Chain A
Amino acid sequence: DAGVIQSPRHEVTEMGQEVTLRCKPISGHDYLFWYRQTMMRGLELLIYFNNNVPIDDSGMPEDRFSAKMPNASFSTLKIQPSEPRDSAVYFCASSLVGWTQYFGPGTRLTVL
């Protein structure tokens, strides 16, 4: 079975550009989570969805960040405009009811 799929795996962009990260959760999972990993702050939860509905977005750092889940098999995390301090690895994870989350391979974002 395919795990969580994220694209792109690497993204290099210039400051001010729009960045869209994509995630396909494991089929049948009800929860989808977006995390950001940096050296300074470790793994931080940005937002999570239950049955496609955003439940808690208190971890989203600024209005420049937005996330959507238009259906059960797809979610996006958008940064507009991007800034160098947004450089990080962004992970998507999904889970069935419960605490065991399954992570994708991550997207390494570099904003120049």
Chain B
Amino acid sequence: DQQVKQNSPSLSVQEGRISILNCDYTNSMFDYFLWYKKYPAEGPTFLISISSIKDKNEDGRFTVFLNKSAKHLSLHIVPSQPGDSAVYFCAASEGDSGAGSYQLTFGKGTKLSVIP
């Protein structure tokens, strides 16, 4: 049973436009969320995170939104650039809830293609 779901395997966006990547989760104990970016033949790299006490976190062109009632988060990239083309993974953690602290559960990823 997938606890973190990224329902869109791929997304294509024109350069300069907004990219919106979505993620849903089922485990109500998750309270910390992260986005990772992965280029081919490389390991995932940390992009941005959000704690469940917030509903938005922004870092430059990247903004993550969290809707706890809907168990949904999204990553917005504005403006999108060709170098953003990569696979984006959503990850979630139960945080300081005891056993399982710092374990991350990953979605299967969304491949973003930014077209020049």
Taking Cβ atoms with an 8 Å cutoff, the residues of A that contact B are 4, 31, 33, 42-45, 48, 56, 91, 93, 95, 97-106
Contact = CB atoms under 8 A, between A and B. Distances in A.
Contacts of A45: 103-105
Nearest to B33: A99
A102 B46 contact: yes
Interface string B77-116: 0000000000001000101000110111111110000000
Q: Is the interface of B mostly helix, strand, loop or mixed?
A: loop
A99 B43 contact: no
Contacts of A104: 43
Q: Is the interface of A mostly helix, strand, loop or mixed?
A: strand
Given A42-B108, A56-B103, A99-B34, 16 more contacts: A42-B107, A44-B106, A48-B102, A48-B103, A91-B44, A95-B102, A99-B49, A100-B46, A100-B49, A101-B104, A102-B45, A103-B36, A103-B45, A105-B43, A106-B41, A106-B43
Interface residues on B, range: 20 to 34
Contacts, number: 51
Nearest to A102: B46
A106 B42 CA distance: 7
Interface of B: 32, 34, 36, 41-46, 49, 89, 93, 95, 99-100, 102-109
Nearest to B41: A105
13 contacts: A31-B102, A43-B44, A48-B102, A56-B99, A95-B102, A97-B102, A99-B49, A99-B104, A100-B49, A101-B104, A103-B43, A103-B45, A105-B41
Given A31-B102, A56-B100, A56-B103, A43 B89 contact: yes
Nearest to A93: B43
A15 B104 CA distance: 31
Contacts of B42: 105-106
A94 to B, nearest CB: 11
